[in-house]
Chain A
Amino acid sequence: MSKPVIATASLAGCFGCHMSILDIDERILDLVELVEFNKSPVDDIKTFTKPVDVGIIEGGCSNSENVEVLRAFRKNCKILISLGECAIMGGLPAMRNGIPVRECLEEAYHRCPTIDPFDPKIIPDDPDLPIILDRVYPLHEIVKIDAFLPGCPPSADLIWKALTSLLQGKPLVLPYALVKFD
């Protein structure tokens, strides 16, 4: 039987959740035995090359590219996991929700203390750049999500427990001490 295929992505996240995936220590050797990685920053595969069993996404949707990647994952993955606070509720990036986008961009590109006051005041708007959304969206407000693993980051033990259960088709039974929002 071929190994189950896993794919991962970081959208509006800080890669902390990915660090936590790697933080399963020597169990990563078991994981490599158990599964095969497809599109993921872990192996630097950029595009899907086959259907995926479990997709894991960190970070919410802050721009148009995040939404595209998320939709591509939904299309290609049997099970989609929302990993971490940012994916589940927007997290720190969502602190801009409620502040108009223009104000955010002006703060970053005009008023930020490291901007040279003599530089022309521009806000990058190259057509190749993804468009910033009106606010940061949790993943499940855009596509259907099958499992949620909270934490900032979720602990390696939680990720391990969830992944091994899901791959064996077992229901998620998570111990109290593993479900934390921080």
Chain B
Amino acid sequence: MNKITFTIDGQACTAEAGQTILEAARANGIYIPSLCWFEGMKPAGSCRICTVRAGGRYMAACTQPVSEQMVIENMAPDLEDMRKALVEMLFVEGNHMCPTCEKSGNCELQALAYRYQMLVPRFPYDFPVRRVEPAGPKILLEHNRCIKCLRCVRGVKAKDGRRVFGALRRGGRKKIAVDLSLAAALSDRRAREAMDRCPVGSILKKEVGFIVPVGKRKYDATPIGSDLRKAEG
């Protein structure tokens, strides 16, 4: 198969034809920050955290296929600041009380905020009115923390392949809905998968909250994406 050659921030990289910029970057040991992307799942390109620049144009690295001789900017300061702004926006659009959150320490949104050392968002807090939805015996849905990434809608399926989650309404009023009977029938393994699909603490498996002690959680000691940088060095 033909290899494509391209560069990211000046570093020479190779990719298989048809790979997206984000997949190709990771295969080359380069981290492009992402949030709504989930390995092995069809990308949605909705959060825009993975925005890169090529030929002066901005594109979502998770949906854009890489092409021959592409010159990609990833870590340019203005791109990084734009990503940080997106993270800050997600914080003020929901109600993120990290001290009370079961996902704290393992949350991808929080991990990005740590990576960018967000001390305070530049935008005013919205304090939207949202609910906690007890979704049967296995999981609960904490709408206050949902960032509408649709990872659950795209990826969480019941045994027979039916979708467990769906999206209601559009734009700022978008809301995740759950099929209560399918959610109740989830096996423990699938309920755990549903929780892991959710980048934040919006889908929670019941009775396992706060199970990992502070200090041992995924992003306590090292920033998100550092596993890739290690592979590179």
Is B97 close to A, CB under 8 A?
A: yes
A97 with B127: CB separation less than 8 A: yes
Q: Which of A89, A95, A174, A177 has the most CB of B within 10 A?
A: A89
Q: Nearest-CB distance from B15 to chain A (Å)?
A: 31
B98 with A152: CB separation less than 8 A: yes
A176 with B114: CB separation less than 8 A: yes
Q: A176-B114, A176-B223, A182-B104 are in contact. Are A85 and B98 (CB under 8 A)?
A: yes
Is B124 close to A, CB under 8 A?
A: yes
B119 with A91: CB separation less than 8 A: no
- Residues of A near B99 (CB, < 8 A) are 85, 91-92, 152, 181-182
8 contacts between A and B (CB under 8 A): A89-B120, A90-B127, A94-B97, A95-B95, A149-B119, A176-B114, A179-B114, A179-B117
A binding-site residues for B, Cβ under 8 Å: 82, 85, 88-92, 94-95, 97-98, 135, 138, 140-141, 145, 147-150, 152, 174, 176-177, 179-182
| CB contact between A82 and one of B97, B120, B222 (< 8 Å): that residue | B120
B binding-site residues for A, Cβ under 8 Å: 95-101, 104-105, 110, 113-114, 117, 119-120, 124-125, 127-129, 214, 220-223
| CB contact between B214 and one of A82, A147, A182 (< 8 Å): that residue | A182
- Residues of A near B110 (CB, < 8 A) are 181
A-B contact count (CB 8 A): 65
A92 with B127: CB separation less than 8 A: no
- Residues of B near A141 (CB, < 8 A) are 124-125
**Bound CA–CA A182/B104 (angstroms):** 7
| CB contact between B125 and one of A90, A145, A147, A179 (< 8 Å): that residue | A90
A92 with B221: CB separation less than 8 A: no
Q: Nearest-CB distance from A45 to chain B (Å)?
A: 28
- Residues of B near A182 (CB, < 8 A) are 98-99, 101, 104-105, 214
Q: A138-B125, A141-B124, A177-B221 are in contact. Are A92 and B100 (CB under 8 A)?
A: yes
- Residues of B near A149 (CB, < 8 A) are 119
**Bound CA–CA A31/B96 (angstroms):** 34
- Residues of B near A85 (CB, < 8 A) are 97-99
**Bound CA–CA A76/B105 (angstroms):** 37
A176 with B125: CB separation less than 8 A: no
Q: Nearest-CB distance from B100 to chain A (Å)?
A: 7
Q: A152-B98, A182-B104 are in contact. List 7 more A-B contacts (CB 8 A).
A: A89-B125, A91-B97, A92-B97, A138-B120, A176-B114, A180-B114, A181-B113
**Bound CA–CA A149/B221 (angstroms):** 18
- Residues of B near A181 (CB, < 8 A) are 98-99, 104, 110, 113
**Bound CA–CA A85/B91 (angstroms):** 13
B117 with A174: CB separation less than 8 A: yes
B220 with A98: CB separation less than 8 A: no
- Residues of A near B129 (CB, < 8 A) are 98
Q: Nearest-CB distance from A20 to chain B (Å)?
A: 13
Q: Nearest-CB distance from B220 to chain A (Å)?
A: 7
Closest to A86 in B: B99
